Amino acid sequence: MPLPLLTVLVLGGLALGYALYGRLLARFYRLDPDAPTPAHTHRDGLDYEPAAPGYLLGQHFAAIAAAGPIVGPILACAQFGWLPCVLWVVFGSIFIGAVHDLSALVASVRHEAQTIAAVVREHLGRRAWGAFLAFIWLALVYVIVAFTDVTASTFVGRIDELDGVRVDFERGGAVAFASAAYLVLAVVMGLVQRRFSPPLWLVTVVFVPATLGVVWLGTKCSTWLAFAPGGAVHPKLAWGVVILAYCFVASLVPVWALMQPRGYLGGFVLYLVLATGAVGLLFGGFTVEQPAFRGLVQTGADGAPTPTGLLFPFLFVTIACGACSGFHGLVCSGTTSKQLDRETHGTAVGYGGMLLEAFVALVALGTVMIVAAPEGGPGAVYGRGIGEFLCVVVGREHLLVATVFGAMAFSTFVFDTLDVATRLGRHVLQELLGWRGRAGAAAGTLATIALPLAIVLGADPEAKGYVAFWTLFGASNQLLAALTLLGVSVWLARTGRPPWFTLVPGLFVLGMTLWALARLAWGGLAGARGPDGGLALATLMNGLAALALIGLALFLVVEAWRARPAGGAPPAGVSASA
């Protein structure tokens, strides 16, 4: 199939899904433009602060669209072929992922902008609530560990996108400087808005070009933030500590001072990458070099299926973000719901934001589809692909600069997720333990980053820690999405509304995830002893974590079954209008 035709069909399908199914869900939830939202009723200038829909969409999009919709599709395309990946991204995002995001956002708004775990507590009971919150917090800690590792790696120059490319600047220092300058710009933007209240168009005209400018400035000031190699502390270790210290501070400052403006600016970087990808896919003249389908089972040299070589279920956990992501529900119910100005904005922010991420996944697929024999990791494939797409506009004589832009855009996606994940972890602990006020917020943040800090300090700085855990990361992410849909379904049933549009996709994702986790658990425990007879610690951890996730899922399924309303009527004391 020609690449431009495929792109048009995918974009048309996503637009049609938004226009038809998104609006159908909005009518089902009876979104009311005049209903007071928690952003107004609980406005405190710290976490609760109403934001314009376009402003909030940029922040929300930047928070959810990290490395997941890039890495997962590239890995899956190389393993299963591009056709099943495209089908899962399009249909999964319309009927599962976007439903999950909008439902989590609405459920949170209708429960005073508490996390989705509050819905579980009210409708499934305190035992399920405690287990769910603990799982969310552990999942967030895992996100922080993984993305701290990959961000610190880019800051010391391990940029897969630039492997084999000669540059006249310090690679890691360029990314570090650009990222730091980007955060400073966000703080300045927040202060200007707070003090002078300029129109949003003026702020956009000034600060968005400045954000792109710091990418170029990073190549000119690349030695300013470059840790010298060979010192007493490994540069990657030093950056890991600095990044976690930033997460601590960022979690405690008011949202208007950093998170809102940073997300808005980061959203424009994402929009630019999407526009670049669209131009490249439609007008670049590229041809599809990858096979459409590689088979249902991928086998190794011994003829046996590889550990993750079954299309069912591993396609659906390898591509998590981009089709469906439990992390989105945490963003929707943890930060976005506290800033939603009107309920009716939820369709564009929640449902539309997920479809935008589906297009991010399509662009990522495009970067690998145009290469017959991809070289390097997903980051390398993506960076070179974005560089090729950008050259359609700026010319091939600027391929190096274009590739650098792709590398830094990838790093920006990852970096933006870190402070959001830390703030969400703080919210979860405060809700679970009842910690109030600024002291409780500081304690929750410190507890959230303590385990990642210990892992960073004890890890091998020469290793890429996130690589060994990607499939388990995707499976835990999908499990969280399934459990969120399950909790929303119980809420709908207990308030007298049919839960089928959340329950059916939730059960599908739950089934695929449990299947994948069962195979991961078996493989992890069976392969705990390495070929040399020693203990394969990472493999064993994967197996034990998979078992724990299976146990948690089954426990919550049982609790949901017990909490179902008898005869379909709302239980006493539960309002059907909730």
Q: For the chain, what is the mean pLDDT?
A: 86
Q: What pLDDT score was predicted for residue 538?
A: 63
Stretch 465-472: mean pLDDT: 68
Contact 510, 555 (CB under 8 A): no
Over residues 213-230, the mean pLDDT reads 79
With a CB cutoff of 8 Å and minimum separation 6, the contacts of 570 are: 494, 495, 496, 576
Residue 366: per-residue pLDDT: 96
For the stretch 111-153, pLDDT in tens is 999 888 888 888 899 889 888 887 888 778 877 887 788 778 7
- % of the chain surpassing 90 pLDDT: 46
Task: Give the mean pLDDT of 248-254.
Answer: 91
pLDDT (0 to 100) of residue 576: 45
Across residues 409-427, what is the average pLDDT?
78
* Largest CA-CA distance found in the chain, in angstroms, rounded: 71
pLDDT at 457: 81
The predicted model gives 31-41 an average pLDDT of: 96
| Half-sphere CA count of 71, side-chain side, radius 13 A | 24
The tens digit of pLDDT for each residue in 325-334 reads 998 998 899 8
pLDDT on residue 291 = 95
d(CA 93, CA 322): 7
Could you give the CA distance from residue 59 to residue 215 in angstroms, rounded to a whole number? Answer: 19
Q: Rounded to an integer, what distance in angstroms lies between the CA atom of residue 345 and that of residue 40?
A: 14
Condensed to tens digits (0 to 9), the pLDDT of residues 518-572 reads 998 888 788 777 666 666 666 777 788 788 889 888 999 999 999 888 655 555 4
Q: How far apart are CA 469 and CA 538, in angstroms?
A: 8
Chain segment 432-452, per-residue pLDDT in tens: 888 888 899 999 999 999 988
The secondary element (H helix, E strand) that includes residue 306 is: strand 305-310
Overall average pLDDT of the 354-360 stretch: 95
Backbone angles phi, psi at 512, to 5 degrees: -65, -40
Task: Specify whether the CB–CB gap between 487 and 116 falls below 8 A.
Answer: yes
Q: At 389, is the pLDDT very low, low, confident or very high (cuts 50, 70, 90)? A: very high
**pLDDT value at position 265?**
85
What confidence tens digit (pLDDT) does each residue in 54-110 have?
889 988 887 788 778 988 999 999 999 999 999 999 999 999 999 999 999 999 999
Whole-angstrom distance, CA of residue 411 vs CA of residue 454: 23
Supply the pLDDT for residue 231: 63
Q: Which has more confidence, 148 or 369?
A: 369
pLDDT at 68: 81
**What are 263-313's pLDDT values in tens digits?**
788 778 888 888 999 999 999 999 999 999 999 998 876 777 787 889 999
**Sign of the dihedral through C-alpha 233, 238, 241, 246:** positive
pTM recorded for the entire structure:
0.85
